[in-house]
Amino acid sequence: MTEAAMVDRAGRPIRVGLDVGGTKIDAVAVSHDGEILGRLRRPTRWGEDAVVDSTVEAVLALGDEVGFTPDDVASAGVGIPGLVDSATGRVLHAVNLGVESLDLAARAGARLGVPFRVENDVKAAALGAAALRGIDGSMAYLNLGTGVAAGIVVDGRIWRGARGTAGEVGHLSVDPAGRLCGCGQRGCVETFCGGGALAKAWGRPGALPVRDILDAAELGDAQAVLLRDDLFRGAAAAVRVLVLSADVERVIIGGGLTALGDRLEHGIRAALLAGAEASAFMRSLHLDERIELLTAGSPAAAFGAALVGASAPVKEIVAHG
């Protein structure tokens, strides 16, 4: 869908995409043929009004850097955590941002005179990852960050499912004797490979506890070895769930834990191979060949948000000026 959707309907050359996270906004300006023209990261502020302000300011600051004004912006898309009503652009329960209910698309759109669309951040990132990797068929984007969730894209479109929980593999239990999850269940995928759960289980201070865990595991720390194994096994379990339920062709792994780079990719691949060792059926799926890792700092989430914005029906584009 990328090319068709990126056609500039209003003669304005710029599509803006914003990934609004708990700590920072990642913003990209995209040309009508899908090229990323510029990128900017800014801190997010807490609370509903502040999220609107940060969003608006990020667009303006990106314009200053790239050289455009809101008049040049054909559309803007926002990926944001929480429950998102993509039809209305309302965000619910984005607890890390202090948002209970925010009419983000309408408020940011009115401030800038630009049509906004809003989408759940993982779903938007899935769309971006599929486009950046040129995947036409089916794929899942598995986000390994503080929490764990996936977005599924089929034929260039976000797979929403019946009630918006498609890809919520982080809260499937894969071990009844596992650690207690924040969601109340035991042994959820997220307790194994979520950055937050691993940091809590590790219990030692550090800027990126999961990196400390891998470093300590390499030095033979017994607790770290167990947690490292959990990380890889949990991510492998998530991959298996995505392939054995929705049967996506590829699983692209993104999120903050991609800062671990090759160590993460090799570890997950090894866990998938180990899981397949005893099972001809699992071997036949070639799961280890079907995963890939985004580069740390990939603009997939913001780029996906730009695609979400560009997918606005023509009738939703408001007149400006």
In this chain, which stretch among 30-38, 68-76, 257-265, 276-284 interacts with its own copies, using CB under 8 A? 276-284
**Strand 250-254, strand 291-293: pairing:** parallel
Q: Strands, DSSP E only, in 172-270? A: 250-254
Give residues 65-84 in contact with its own copies (rule: CB under 8 A).
none
Binding mask 111-140 for its own copies (x = CB under 8 A): --------------------------xx--
State which residue, 66 or 140, has the beta carbon closest to its own copies: 140
State which residue, 187 or 299, has the beta carbon closest to its own copies: 187
Instruction: Give the separation between CA 16 and CA 62, rounded to whole angstroms.
Output: 9
**Is residue 23 within 8 Å of 146, Cβ to Cβ?**
no
Instruction: Give the separation between CA 73 and CA 124, rounded to whole angstroms.
Output: 19
User: Applying CB under 8 A, which of residues 69, 88, 101, 279 lies at the interface with its own copies?
Assistant: 279
**Is residue 29 within 8 Å of 14, Cβ to Cβ?**
yes
3-state secondary structure of 211: helix
3-state secondary structure of 54: helix
User: Applying CB under 8 A, which of residues 4, 222, 278, 314 lies at the interface with its own copies?
Assistant: 278
In this chain, which stretch among 125-133, 171-179, 199-207, 296-304 interacts with its own copies, using CB under 8 A? 171-179
| Closest by CA position to 131, among listed 304, 6, 258 | 304
Contact call for residue 185 and its own copies (CB under 8 A): yes
In angstroms, give the least distance from the CB of 137 to its own copies: 6
In this chain, which stretch among 54-62, 110-118, 178-186, 294-302 interacts with its own copies, using CB under 8 A? 178-186
User: Applying CB under 8 A, which of residues 132, 246, 300, 301 lies at the interface with its own copies?
Assistant: 246
- Helical packing angle, 222-245 and 195-202, nearest 10°: 160
Contact call for residue 162 and its own copies (CB under 8 A): yes
Instruction: Give the separation between CA 88 and CA 266, rounded to whole angstroms.
Output: 41
Contact call for residue 175 and its own copies (CB under 8 A): yes
Amino acid at 214: L
User: Applying CB under 8 A, which of residues 5, 74, 243, 293 lies at the interface with its own copies?
Assistant: 243
Helix (H) or strand (E) holding 269: helix 262-277
Instruction: Give the separation between CA 153 and CA 167, rounded to whole angstroms.
Output: 10
Contact call for residue 274 and its own copies (CB under 8 A): no
Amino acid at 58: A
User: Applying CB under 8 A, which of residues 172, 201, 208, 296 lies at the interface with its own copies?
Assistant: 172
Residues near its own copies (CB under 8 A) are: 137-138, 150, 152, 159-169, 171-177, 181, 183-185, 237, 240-249, 275, 278-282, 285
